[in-house]
Structure 1
Amino acid sequence: MQKSERQAYIRQLIQDEVIERQSDFVTALEALDVPVTQATISRDIKDMQLVKVPMPNGHYRYSMPPEKQLAPLDKLRRTIAASFRHGDKMDQFVHLVMNPGTAPAVGNLIDQLEDQRIFATIAGDAAILIVCRSAEAAASVLDMFNAMVG
């Protein structure tokens, strides 16, 4: 299983259940037939920047950090509006030109969408190459970005 898929499960778990310990993640994921180790969960917690928040009973539970609680698409819209210069497509490829320094964050947000039209993203400093699953998907993805900036 890919890291992005496992982390999507983790995001869903902390929305649906009270997860107090790393071992709770391991148990819940194994119940979903997602084999993991405590070390993997520890790395995912760090990578996802999960935080522990207090509950009324005095215990603490894992949660997404406040800024990550926005849906990835909403964060992407906000970020694109401030950093997108232009985009183009060729066959199943979409090329986005961004303001310098913004492409890595936008590429990460695109990955978080887990959009089935997108096979992979490659982000440089000011440009992103999106490899789509088809030419039609590339046209649709480019239309999505153009619509975000109006």
Structure 2
Amino acid sequence: MQKNERQAYLKQLIKDQVIERQSDFVTALEADGVPVTQATISRDIKDMQLVKVPTTGGRYRYSLPLEKQLSPLDKLRRTLAAAYRHGDRMDQFVHLVMNPGTAPAVGNLIDQLHDQRIFATIAGDAAILIVCRGTAQAKEVLEMIDAMVG
């Protein structure tokens, strides 16, 4: 199993089960026929920035950090609230003006939406050009962005 597959599996385990110890991860993986060492799990925990949170019984379980639990849409909303200045549209193009240095992250979040109205996203330092599949889609995308920032 590749590292990214294993880490996706660990993320799913955290959502489906209460995982209190690294050995719980090892046991679950081995039960599915995936041999893994505790050292590998330890590295995965560090890479994934997993945290331990209290449970109702006074024990602790592994969890994803809050920002990794948010969907790309929620992350986009939060980021736009602090970074978005204004947007404009021409034909099938949407131009977003952002605070300096924030456009790459916002562009990446827009790409993560996999919005079928969007053909391509090009992010500079403080601006993003969104190429939509048509004029109507560009209008909808700009309206969606504007609605996110209120």
Q: TM-score range by the shorter chain?
A: 0.5 to 0.7
Cα RMSD for the two superposed structures: 4.5
Alignment match, 1:40: none
How far the C-alpha of 1:83 sits from its partner, in A, is 0.9
Q: Against the structure 1 CA distance between its residues 97 and 63, is the aligned structure 2 distance closer, same or farther, given a 3 Å change threshold? A: same
Query: Identity over aligned residues, as a percent?
Result: 79
C-alpha separation in 2, matches of 1:103 and 1:49: 24
Structure 2 unmatched ranges of 5 or more: 1-7, 18-46, 52-61
Moved over 3 A (4+): 11-17, 48-51, 62-66
- 3-state SS, counterpart of residue 125 of structure 2: coil
TM (norm. structure 1) is 0.60
* Cα deviation digits, residues 20-75 of structure 1 (max 9, x gap): xxxxxxxxxxxxxxxxxxxxxxxxxx7x8789xxxxxxxxxx97554121011111
Q: Against the structure 1 CA distance between its residues 83 and 63, is the aligned structure 2 distance closer, same or farther, given a 3 Å change threshold? A: same
The alignment covers a number of residue pairs equal to: 140
Aligned partner of 1:91: which letter? D
C-alpha separation in 2, matches of 1:130 and 1:12: 33
Larger Rg: 2
TM (norm. structure 2) is 0.60
Structure 1 unmatched ranges of 5 or more: 1-7, 18-45, 52-61
1:87-102 matches, cutoff 5 A: 87-102=87-102
- 3-state SS, counterpart of residue 131 of structure 2: strand
